[in-house]
Structure 1
Amino acid sequence: MQRSDESEQSVDELLADVERLTDDDMTDGVSDDGGRSEPSAATSTRGGPGGSSVRDRLGGLFSPRTFLIALVLSVGAVVVGGSIPLLGFVGRLVGLFAVAFLVGVVGSDRHYLEVGLAGALASGLGFVVSTLTSAFFPFAVRLLSEYGIAIAGVGAGVGALAALVGHYVGRDLRDGLTREL
């Protein structure tokens, strides 16, 4: 329980405090003139002129939006590709390749990290779920308890490889189509 004399800080105030503490042009929360500085309205608002987005904080290396889109499409590709009879495993990889290829062709920037991570997560999850559903359940649970990390690791590695190759081919096609002769 909270005492009545304590006041709750709003989320905006907490974000402003974090922004003030992590501001690059300040040293340990002390401004250049030696006094405590208050965060300006520009730095405390998201997306404002002085504010920074998650992509800016990560140095432009990772786009959460692209990652989420690639993850949703990759999970869909694993489900659809795995549901094709007689293809199963190969269908999943073809689906991951196709999603990464699409992101490579459509996107103007390189998104290898996002696509590779999304492919790895979707494929690793697909391997674990397919192990649970393809074998007798008590045996599958025992198998996953002993070798689950290895099964998920192999799935993640193969999925990341398929996604990275697909993204590379898609980017190469985009480069070939947009280059002047």
Structure 2
Amino acid sequence: MQRSDQKESERSVDDILSGLNSDDEPTPTTQSAGGNGGRFSGLFSPRAFLAALLLSVGGLVVGGAIPIIGFFGRFAGIAAVGFLIGLVGSKRRYAEVGLAGAIAAGLAFVISTLFSVFAPFAVQLLADYGIAIAGVGALSGGVAGLVGHYFGRDLRSGLTQDL
């Protein structure tokens, strides 16, 4: 013979496992992550990431080619790409833009260190401090992309808001 409180707890566990609450609606904890309406379904888009990465590399190259600001132009280029993605896109793409900016700038720091210093010394420098160099580049590139995306989204919401 079962106690009454034990029957209720079994019923609630069965409801959770079946994905239905008392109103016959799916509970948010049991929805699939990969399907429509999933909890993490819109968090990261591989296509948007690839586009943001390619654009970030392009912005990094174009920004670095400016003669007067050169080094800082790389970050301005990544921020400009983030700004344009935020301005044009209808969805938030912070994860994609931040990761793309971090990867582009991290690789650029390592490659520029490798080619800007005498080759044997550069290899030794990267062997000793390569992770730190890439980390600084990745952090600063990610922040530049996120800041640019934030201001692009802010401008977009200001332009599309009713007065």
8 Å contact from structure 2 (residues 83, 153) kept in 1: yes
Partner of 1:14: none
Identify if the C-alpha distance between structure 1 residues 69 and 132 changes in structure 2 by more than 3 Å, giving closer, same or farther. same
The superposition leaves residues 80-121 of structure 1 with CA deviations (integer Å, 9 ceiling, x where unpaired) of 222222422211000000000000000111110000000000
Partner of 1:95: 77
Q: Which has the higher helix share?
A: 2
Identify if the C-alpha distance between structure 1 residues 53 and 64 changes in structure 2 by more than 3 Å, giving closer, same or farther. farther
Partner of 2:158: 176
Equivalent residue letter for 2:106: G
CA distance in 2 between counterparts of 1:81 and 1:55 reads 39
SS in 2 for 1:108: coil
Tell me the C-alpha RMSD between the 2 structures. Answer: 2.1
Q: TM-score, normalised by structure 1?
A: 0.68
8 Å contact from structure 1 (residues 119, 162) kept in 2: yes
Partner of 2:86: 104
One of 100, 116, 138 as aligned partner of 1:118: 100
Partner of 2:43: 61
Partner of 1:76: 58
SS in 2 for 1:154: helix
- The number of equivalent residue pairs is 133
8 Å contact from structure 1 (residues 123, 159) kept in 2: yes
8 Å contact from structure 1 (residues 115, 164) kept in 2: yes
CA distance in 2 between counterparts of 1:147 and 1:86 reads 28
Partner of 2:133: 151
The CA deviation at 1:157 is 0.3
SS in 1 for 2:108: helix
> Please, which moves more after superposition, 96-105 or 83-92?
83-92
The CA deviation at 1:55 is 10
* Higher RCO (C-alpha 8 Å, min separation 6): 2
Identify if the C-alpha distance between structure 1 residues 90 and 54 changes in structure 2 by more than 3 Å, giving closer, same or farther. farther
8 Å contact from structure 1 (residues 78, 92) kept in 2: yes
Give the unaligned 5+ runs of structure 1: 1-23, 26-51
8 Å contact from structure 1 (residues 62, 114) kept in 2: yes
One of 139, 147, 169 as aligned partner of 2:121: 139
